[in-house]
Chain A
C-alpha cells in the first residue's frame, strides 16, 4: 500500500472538467447531473420489498413502484457510473483507502452515527427541495434557474451555521 499517491487536481482543472461533463450531459440528455433521484428509487425499491402494501398505497412512493421495479432508470445508470468513476480515479491515483474518515476527537461509532443522522436530513431535504447539490445546486444553477440559486444560498447558510455547532466533530 506504499505506492505513490497522486495529489488532488487543481480546483480550476477539476471545475472546468466538471463543467464540461455537465455540458456534455445536457447535450446528450437535455437534463443535468443528479444523484438524490437514485436514492429515492432505492428507498422505493426497499419499501416495495419490506412493506409492499404500504409502499403501493403511499402517495409519494406509489407512482414509483406501480410499473414494477423503480430501479431501471437513467439516474440509476448514472449513479452506478459515479461509483465506478470514483473507484477508477481513486485506484489509479493511489488515493483509495478503506477507512472511516472523521475528526480525531470522536470515535468511529460516533462518526457513523453522525453520518447516518446527516444522511437522514439530506435524504429528507432532497425530497422536499426536489433535488440536491447536483441536480439543483450544480445543474439548476448552470441553466441560471432561480431555484438553483435559492437552493445554493440556503445550502451554504445552513452549512456554515451547522458546521460551527459541529466543529468539535471534525477537528
Chain B
C-alpha cells in the first residue's frame, strides 16, 4: 500500500484530532499549572511526553521509509525562515508562560472544563488579527534568512537519519533522568487531584465568580 494517503477528509481530521486530544488530556496537558510547571522545573511532563513522542514518530517515519511504505519527500518538512521562526518561538514561549497554554493545549484545557482557556483562545484570535493587520510591514522579516527547502538536521550535518534519531534519544534519556531528579526535589509532578483542586488562598474567592468584582 502506498502511503501517505493524503486524505484530508472530515473523518481523517476527526480521527487524528480525537486521538490527539485524548492523549494530551491523559498526559495532564489540560491543566495550565501542570503545563507551566515545566518552566518552574517542578514537573517535566512537557519535556518527557514531547521528546518521547518526537523520537517514536521520527523512528516510525524512518522505518516506514526504509521499508518503502512511504517514498522520499512523502511527508511535509517545514522550511526554516530563521528570524521569523526564532522570534515566533520566543513569543509563543513567553505567551505560554504568561497565559498557561499553547494553541493545541488550549483546546484540551477547554475540554477539561477550564474557563481560562476561553480567554486564551480569544487572545489568540486577537493576536492573529493584529498580525494580519501588520503583515505588510512585517513581510521582509517574515521571509528573511530562508533556509534550504525542507532541510533536516541530518541533511545539515551530513549524517544518516538514524544517527540523529539515536542522538536525540540519548539527549532525551539524559534530560528525562535530570527531570525526574528535579521533580523529586520539588515534591513530584502535579497530580490530577492537585490540578483539580483550587489553590487554598483562593477559597474565599471562588474560581468562576465574576473576575472583575473579586478585587472589590
Contact = CB atoms under 8 A, between A and B. Distances in A.
A and B are partners in one complex rather than unrelated chains: yes
Interface of A: 5-9, 11-36, 38-40, 42-44, 46-47, 58-61, 74-90, 93, 95-105, 107-163, 165-167, 169-170
Interface in B143-168: 147, 150-154, 156, 161, 164-165
Contact of A119 (B49, B52, B122, B135): B122
A101 B99 CA distance: 11
Interface in B83-142: 84-117, 119-133, 135-136, 138-139, 142
Given A82-B20, A119-B119, A142 B58 contact: yes
B27 A8 contact: yes
Nearest to B115: A100
Contacts of B120: 115-116, 118-119, 122
A128 B27 CA distance: 28
A11 B58 contact: no
Contacts of B74: 30
Given A14-B26, A115-B119, A150-B80, A19 B52 contact: yes
A85 B75 contact: no
Contact of B54 (A5, A78, A82, A138): A138
A169 B4 CA distance: 45
A76 to B, nearest CB: 7
Contact of A121 (B4, B95, B110): B95
B116 A89 contact: no
A86 to B, nearest CB: 3
Contacts of B131: 60, 123-124, 127-128
A29 B49 CA distance: 23
Contacts of A123: 95, 103, 123-128, 130-131
3 smallest A-B Cβ distances: which pairs? A118-B99, A81-B17, A119-B123
Residue of A23, A59, A100 most packed against chain B (CB within 10 A): A100
B66 interface: no
Nearest to B6: A30
Contacts, number: 579
Query: Looking at chain B's contact residues, is the secondary structure mostly helix, strand, loop, or mixed?
Result: helix
B116 A112 contact: yes
Contact of B14 (A6, A16, A77, A130): A77
Nearest to A88: B22
Contact of B26 (A8, A120, A127, A167): A8
B174 interface: no
A47 B128 CA distance: 11
Interface in B43-82: 44-45, 48-58, 60-61, 64, 69-70, 74-82
Contacts of B64: 23, 27
B154 to A, nearest CB: 6
B208 interface: yes
A88 B79 CA distance: 35
25 contacts: A19-B54, A25-B16, A26-B70, A28-B12, A39-B103, A39-B121, A75-B13, A82-B104, A82-B108, A90-B111, A95-B112, A97-B113, A99-B115, A101-B109, A115-B119, A118-B97, A123-B123, A126-B103, A131-B78, A134-B104, A136-B78, A137-B50, A142-B61, A144-B165, A154-B87
B40 interface: yes
Residue of A47, A147, A166 most packed against chain B (CB within 10 A): A147
Contacts of A134: 102-104
B80 A39 contact: no
Nearest to B117: A115
